[in-house]
Amino acid sequence: MIELSDVQAAAARVADRIRRTPVVAVDPAPLAPAARMWLKLELTQHTGSFKARGAFNHVLAARAEGRLPDTGIVAASGGNAGLAFAYAAAQVGVPAEVYVPETAPAVKVARLRALGATVVQVGTRYAEAQDAATKRAADTGALFCHAYDLPAVCAGQGTLGLELLEQTGGEIDTVLVAVGGGGLMAGIATALAGAGDRAGEGRAPRVVGVEPERVPTLERALHAGRPVDVDVSGVAADSLGATRLGDIAFSVASRTGVLPVLVSEEAIIEARRFVWAEYRLVIEHGAATAVAALRSGAYRPAPDERVVVLLCGANTDPSDLG
């Protein structure tokens, strides 16, 4: 479990390491009939995704506590988390070794190497890279960096929620977030719920966790009452390819009432193309998942609802956008 105090501590720790990413008001009409709508442009974060927040918090907290060895860090990732951990490690001056599936996009592998990380490709699924990385960290004594199921990582991602509240004056009802392993969702839901409680209002903005139909980690976990393994496939699997929801994410989602929403492959592809055509923003399929919930009608806001859509990553090949 993580609490609001953990997110606030993370915000102070990473303040001079991360970018305060823009929030842009947009016409709701092309997306859904809401009262107001904003896009949170987290795709402009260091390394092209929100993951830099959690990576820096984990690495800096370990350094402050004397847990960051000279052997550096070991991470497992479908791509984005590895980029963030490699970047954070380079910034603090320790080596990084990143395990990725053989199916990881070439653009992400190339960027990992450009950041100075040693890249090891193992298996075809994130879980296989995760197992190899866990063993490597144990053998070398390096700091293990889980992509989404560590308290410091989730708390770091939650700094986005605090930032969003400041930028919108708290005048929001709903935040749509793409879900893979659930670290981002857990951090944001903790920040929003905690801030609402602290304000004494008895309510907080609702978090809608959007995921591909082919990778329903949140929906299956909530249905089963615990995280369970799911099959992984589809266009967003490179960034939302966790085989099960994280334990922290499940705890937070259950406690705060995160609403699960599923979207189709076709809706994700259409949403990504829409974002390019309408806003001239290049996002990855994982980020387009949140947009797809509105474009497809999988989530229908009320006419008076104030909605934020989180565009969480841009590490993609734009050549198919025309």
C-alpha 73/C-alpha 140 separation (Å) is 10
Q: What is the DSSP string of 43-98?
A: GGSGGGBTHHHHHHHHHHHHHHTT---TT-EEEE-SSHHHHHHHHHHHHHT--EEE
Q: Where are the domains of the chain?
A: 4-50+154-316, 52-145
Torsions phi, psi of 144, nearest 5?
-80, 135
- The per-residue pLDDT for 200 is 55
Q: Domain 52-145, what fold?
A: Rossmann fold (3.40.50)
Give the mean pLDDT of the chain: 94
What's the one-letter identity of residue 141?
G
Residue 203 — pLDDT band, cuts 50, 70, 90?
confident
Q: Are 193 and 204 in contact (CB under 8 A)?
A: yes
Domain 4-50+154-316 and domain 52-145 have a common topology:
yes
C-alpha 121/C-alpha 21 separation (Å) is 31
- The per-residue pLDDT for 107 is 76
C-alpha 102/C-alpha 100 separation (Å) is 6
Residues 138-149 have a mean pLDDT of: 95
- The per-residue pLDDT for 125 is 80
Residue 202 pLDDT > 80: no
Q: What is the DSSP string of 205-241?
A: -EEEEEEETT--HHHHHHHHTS-------STTTTTS-
List of residues 6+ apart from 150 with CB closer than 8 A: 54, 58, 248
C-alpha 97/C-alpha 133 separation (Å) is 9
Mind listing the pLDDT tens digit for each residue in 285-309? Answer: 999 999 999 999 999 999 999 999 9
CATH class belonging to 4-50+154-316: alpha beta
Residue 131 pLDDT > 90: yes
pTM: 0.94
Mind listing the pLDDT tens digit for each residue in 145-179? Answer: 999 999 999 999 999 999 999 999 999 999 999 99
Mind listing the pLDDT tens digit for each residue in 210-264? Answer: 999 999 999 999 999 999 999 989 999 888 988 899 999 999 999 999 999 999 9
- The per-residue pLDDT for 181 is 95
Which residues share a beta bridge with 308? Answer: 38, 175
- The per-residue pLDDT for 308 is 98
Residues 190-195 have a mean pLDDT of: 90
Residue labelled with tokens 């996002």: 283
Specify the range with the lowest mean pLDDT, choosing from 61-65, 75-79, 109-113, 236-240: 75-79
Residue 279 pLDDT > 90: yes
